[in-house]
Each structure stands twice: as structure tokens, then as C-alpha cells.
Amino acid sequence: MARNPGLSSYAKDPKAAANSLVPLLEGAEGAVPQELQSETPLELGATTGLRMLKGNAAEKILQAVRDLVKNQSTFHTKDQWVSILDGTQEASYTWVAVNYLLGNLGKKYERTTATIDLGGGSVQMAYAISNKQFAKAPQDVDGKPYVHKKHLMSKDYNLYVHSYLNYGQLAGRAEIFKASRNGSNPCALEGYEGYYSYGGVAYKVKAPKEGSNWKRCRRLTRQALNVKAKCINEECTFNGVWNGGGGDGQDTIHASSFFYDIGAQVGLVDPKFPSAIVKPVQYLKSAKVACQTKAADIKTVFPNTQDRNLPYLCMDLIYEYTLLVEGFGLSRYKKIRVIRDVQYKNYLVGAAWPLGCAIDLVSSSLNKIRLSSS
């Protein structure tokens, strides 16, 4: 379960951050029988927003949450269960959740789907690779593995995972503004002038007199993504990151979060439905329309666009197209399914990492039980 606004929105008020979770606790207490609550583990994982807070703000918030859970909850919990997930965990849990809901877990890795989750602060890619690819998998620049072993539904998987911090949709805007060096920005809609705040920094945003230009915006986006970074391994995505080698586990792709949200705002996705098939080139076509529209007129052309995204619609669409095609190396005509929810039996379930975390924990526990009893 998730909560908006997130914990990071309360950087200066840890107690308010903790109290924002009370509705979630109450919801959980209503779902779990009272007699089982003391035996039911409760875990909280914070993600990108909290990871990016400066100083000790994140730890203060986590401690306030621990105190809240201890004092106001009857669930079984430990201090270490209230923590910040790293991007790799978040990405792998998303992959587990989506593949579980689709009924893929327990099948050969070739039958699983890759996942791309475009959040606000980071973007994550995860997909299963072959044993041959796993045998030659390198480590990242920090010496951490790109590939993790997963035992799920009696099946072993080699899961390639990478989280690109600072390359989510909202963070990506900041990277593009940095690349333009505070000059007029070709991604900004004609007639717009203002400030964009992210990570405690305010970036001046001013459109050129002649308006936005999708070609120049794309060049700036490629620069922000660092697509020409040196690749020390055989094949890379962007910013010098190993791409996992590709293969059957990447044949099918489910993309979530901002890919769905922005797609819905420009008509690529019908928000009445939990998912849709799109091609990267459709984001580019929508971008060309947005980029030639004045800021004052964009709501007329794309009436479903959220007000806070209006000045950045040209930029966001170019970013998503460039990320998919030049970042992750997908064909501009490749069919991908963008998702908000996944149909599971008679329910629509959010395509998010918390479910994957629970499944992974249960699978790990069952595996430990099997090992201890053998």
C-alpha cells in the first residue's frame, strides 16, 4: 500500500510524516482479524523520495514511524523492518509483483515479462536472463551485482535489476534543466516562464521566444541521459550501465507509473482501463503536437493533462520516448503494455512493489523452512 503525499514531503516534521500513515494502519487492522494481528508481521519500506533527503531527515522520519507503529499498532514489528529500500530491491519487487499477478511465476524465465517502472526520482529495469548470461554478468561501478538469484514458486530465476537514481520523470526534468544551464529551454512550452523545484533546488524555466522545439529538446534529453557515456562492458543502456544482455526475458515488457500517467493525459491510454498497448513512437508523435503548442493553449489540446504538468508536457513526452528508445534500446515500434493495475482473477491490483515484497518474503521463509527440515 502507498500513501500520497509520501513521507519525504514531511522532511521538516517527522511526527506529521508518521501520522500520515495512520489511515494505512487502520486499513490493515480492518483487514486482518484482531486475534491474528500480534502474529502478523508489519514492514514499511520507504523509496526514492526518502533516499534523497539531506542530512538526518530520513532517519528522523523512520524513527517517528517506528514509534508510531509500536505505540498505536498491535502488529508484530521490529525496528529494522521500518527502513529505506534500495532501488534494486524496489525494482525486483515490482518484477515479482507483476509476474505473480500475470501468472508467470513458476514458469520458465522465457515466459516472464520485463518491467520498467518510471517513478518520480528513479527509473528501474528488471528482467530474467539465462544461466549463460548470468555466468558472464559483470558488477556495477560500486562493485554490486547486476543479477540476483530469486527462488519463486519452486523456480530459480536470474534477475537482472538496475535502478537509475535521478532519472525518474521528475528528477529527469531537473537533469534537463541542468543541461540547459539556466538559459532558455527548448523543452519549455511557448510563453511559459517560471521555476521548477526538485530536491530542494529551484530551476529557472524560460521558453525560447520562438517556443519549444522537439528536435532540440531531444538533443538536450540525450545529453541529460548521458547516452554517449563510455561503456566498459559489452553492451550498455545509458550512463554507462550494463544492459543485462537482452534475451527472451525482455521480449514482453510491462511499463508502469509515469508511462501510464502521462500516456493517459495525452490520450494514448484510456484511464477507464487498467492498461493499454502502446509503442514508443506514439510518445514522440504526441510530443511533436505538445511542443508546437503554446503554454496557454495546451489544456485545449490535451484536456486531461494535470495542471502541475502543463508547462512540462513537451519535455515529459520527449523524455519517455528517448528513455525507451535510446536509453533502453527498444525499437520505436515495439509494443509494450503500460499498466496502472493488473487484472488478477476478479480484482484489479496495483502494479507496485509492496505485493512483490510480501511474495518475496513468503518465498524466502518457505525456502528456509524447507532447508531447515531437510
Q: Does 153 reside within a domain?
A: yes
Q: What is the CATH number of the domain that holds 50?
A: 3.30.420.40
The whole-number average pLDDT for the span 91-118 is 96
Single out the residue of 188, 186, 182 nearest to residue 204, CA to CA: 182
CA angle centred on 226, ends 135 and 266, rounded to 5° = 105
List C-alpha distances in Å: 218 to 71, 106, 215, 315, 353.
51, 41, 5, 8, 31
- What's residue 183's pLDDT? 74
* 6-37 pLDDT, tens digit each: 788 898 899 999 999 999 899 989 999 999 99
Q: Among all chains, which residue has been given the C-alpha cell 519487487?
A: 93
| Residue 134 DSSP code | H
Number of C-beta neighbours around residue 335 at 10 A: 11
Q: With bands split at pLDDT 50, 70 and 90, how would you rate the model's confidence at 270?
A: very high
Residues annotated as catalytic are 90
* 156-197 pLDDT, tens digit each: 999 999 999 899 999 999 999 998 876 789 999 999 999 999
Domain boundary among 84, 110, 132: 84
Q: Among all chains, which residue has been given the C-alpha cell 540476483?
A: 148
Q: Does 134 reside within a domain?
A: yes
* 196-251 pLDDT, tens digit each: 998 778 999 999 988 899 999 999 999 999 999 999 888 999 999 999 999 999 99
- What's residue 364's pLDDT? 64
CB 217 within 8 A of CB 78: no
| 31 and 112 belong to one structural domain | no
| 70 and 104 belong to one structural domain | no
Q: Among all chains, which residue has been given the C-alpha cell 515479462?
A: 113
| 271 and 337 belong to one structural domain | yes
| 106 and 25 belong to one structural domain | no
| 158 and 13 belong to one structural domain | no
Can the peptide bond before residue 208 be classed as cis, meaning omega within 30 degrees of 0?
no
Domain with 61 in it: 7-84
| 74 and 119 belong to one structural domain | no
| 30 and 125 belong to one structural domain | no
- What's residue 371's pLDDT? 32
Q: Domain count for the chain, please give it.
A: 2
Q: Does 128 reside within a domain?
A: yes
Q: Does 53 reside within a domain?
A: yes
| 144 and 113 belong to one structural domain | yes
* 288-326 pLDDT, tens digit each: 999 999 999 999 999 999 998 999 999 999 999 999 999
Asked whether residue 369 carries a pLDDT value surpassing 70, the answer given is no
Q: Does 1 reside within a domain?
A: no
Which ranges constitute the DSSP H helices of the chain?
14-19, 22-31, 34-37, 48-51, 57-72, 87-101, 131-135, 169-180, 214-225, 258-265, 280-291, 298-301, 313-322, 353-373
